[in-house]
Chains A and B, each alone.
Chain A
Amino acid sequence: MSRPLAPELFASLDPLALAGSRCTACATVQFPAARQCAHCAAEDPAPITLPAQGRIWTWTIQRFEPKAPYLAPADGFLPYAVGYVDLGEVLVESLLQCSDGEPAIGAEVHLVRATAPGGHFTYAFAR
């Protein structure tokens, strides 16, 4: 069975959920979970599970193959959509899967597995 490329990104694999953190001093929510708050520098933010549903906040399509450290799929590069997904307390940068056309700002999306290098999986948000 496929394994996550970066296990620390996930609070749970079934159901799939992303692991974030919330600062106990200033309530800033971060992804991936941080050991120190990026806003106020307080240490040991509390681990939280991020919502699995959100809305596309912005997006683009990556139309050329990025240089290393990007690893293209074994069967070759294909353009892919990326964006920020508004999860309420935090906007998370993510691959986007929109089988029904281009992404759109405001579109509802949910967390899914996406193919990652080396037979692993990573996260994406799908429409």
Chain B
Amino acid sequence: MNAHQVYVIGAGIHPFGRHAGVTGADMAVVATRAALTDAGLGWDKVEVAVGGSNTGKPDALVARLGLTGVAFTGVRNGCATGGVALATAANALRAGQGEVAAVIGFDKHERGAFAADPASYGLDAWYGTTGLMVTTQYFAMRTRRYLHEHGVPDLTLAQIAARASRGGAANPNAWRRRALTTEEVLAAPMVSDPLTNLMFCQPDEGAVALILARGARAFDLCEAPVRLASVAVRTRGPGSFEVFSPWLAPHRSGSPTRAAAQDALRQAGITVADVQVAQVQDTDCGSELIHLAETGLCRDGEQTALLTDGATEATGRLPVNTDGGCLANGEPIGASGLRQVHEVVRQLQVRAAGTAVRGDPRIGFTHVYGAPGVSACTVLMRPDR
């Protein structure tokens, strides 16, 4: 342990789903108080705060948590918001801006797929009016190409949805709590071929908060701190296949996920083979399929064997999205990346709300991805002492 290392010392969640009459800020307050209680601290001890939301104004939460004058940064990076918020808070602690930080993510979305404004992505109006600016279309086209290039059958996509649903069924904080069969998933109405509506997550509502502490303070406050060994954020390179692209370069390269994952592993001083529990962004089954390979957790095309052998089950040798992922929890996008970290921290502390992974896991990994090509990855480690 050294004075610049950052640890997660508290974690709190407001269950994901639909909560009529509860605002995004209400959920953020519930999650933050739960995280503070977990850390045994009051809000007055928080020296740095970072909040992420795409539907609310995070710094306004001080009126509900206490007007302590805390430095509070708001971030908004689409689905990667939680990862960027965590990186921002960790960097502030490493820079000596304080010893204790709160990271809060929340959102409350309307039903149905997200709509986007072309101008905010640097695109002209024709792109939206003619029906090309739809995120589900992008996920489907990317999945179609991946299945074609690597010989992956549609059944693998259905196995991903079924496994996620088993994780959700065991997790009391999940929105979707029913275990699905692959037959059900394949027979569901097609949204954008080859993805059926049970292969997509849905926007919903929820909040997650983490309390971070630096150096010895973490061990003074918490019996089982989890070290944030690294957190890396990257944007896309020139040959990356990203959402809302009227054109692509003919050769693929430069995936932000590949870059962020490699950087997070390098900073943490581990290889991907050391990872014992993982979260990868699964806004749809194709995204999990692709992100498993882009993070290095498996080789291209190897996913079919991993899913068929049960390797990615919570009780398998490479547990993935053990809390049900986005597929079972839905996606309040500001909270989603922090839900991943919350789940991995709880697994490393052997107190997950749902199914516990096998053995005695010490090293976890998370990956979140947002439009138009932002990825954030973390490595989390249980310290020896």
Contacts from A to B (Cβ < 8 Å): 5-6, 8-9, 20, 28-32, 38-39, 57-64, 66-71, 80, 82-84, 86, 88-93, 95, 102, 105, 116-117, 122
Contact = CB atoms under 8 A, between A and B. Distances in A.
Contacts of B148: 58, 105
B124, B142, B246, most chain A CB atoms within 10 A:
B246
Interface string B313-349: 0000000000000000000000000000000000000
20 contacts: A6-B126, A9-B126, A20-B247, A39-B249, A61-B192, A62-B192, A63-B189, A63-B192, A63-B193, A66-B131, A67-B112, A70-B134, A82-B137, A86-B250, A88-B250, A93-B245, A95-B131, A102-B193, A117-B130, A122-B126
B144 A59 contact: yes
A8 B124 CA distance: 10
Contacts of B65: none
Contacts of A8: 124
Contacts of B141: 58-60, 82-84
A57 to B, nearest CB: 7
Interface of B: 112-113, 115, 117-118, 124-126, 128-134, 136-137, 140-142, 144-145, 148, 189-195, 238, 245-250
B250 A91 contact: yes
Given A59-B141, A60-B192, A62-B137, A28 B249 contact: yes
A59 B117 CA distance: 23
A80 to B, nearest CB: 6
A39 B239 CA distance: 9
Contacts of B112: 67
A61 B195 CA distance: 10
Contacts of B125: 6, 69
Given A8-B124, A58-B144, 17 more contacts: A57-B145, A59-B141, A59-B144, A60-B194, A62-B131, A62-B134, A62-B136, A63-B189, A63-B190, A63-B193, A69-B118, A90-B249, A91-B247, A91-B248, A92-B246, A95-B131, A102-B193
B146 to A, nearest CB: 9
Given A58-B141, A67-B115, A93 B126 contact: no
Contact of B129 (A59, A63, A70, A91): A70
A119 B86 CA distance: 49
B111 to A, nearest CB: 11
A58 B248 CA distance: 12
A117 B131 CA distance: 10
Contacts of A32: 124, 246
A95 B191 CA distance: 17
Contacts of B117: 69
A93 B246 contact: yes
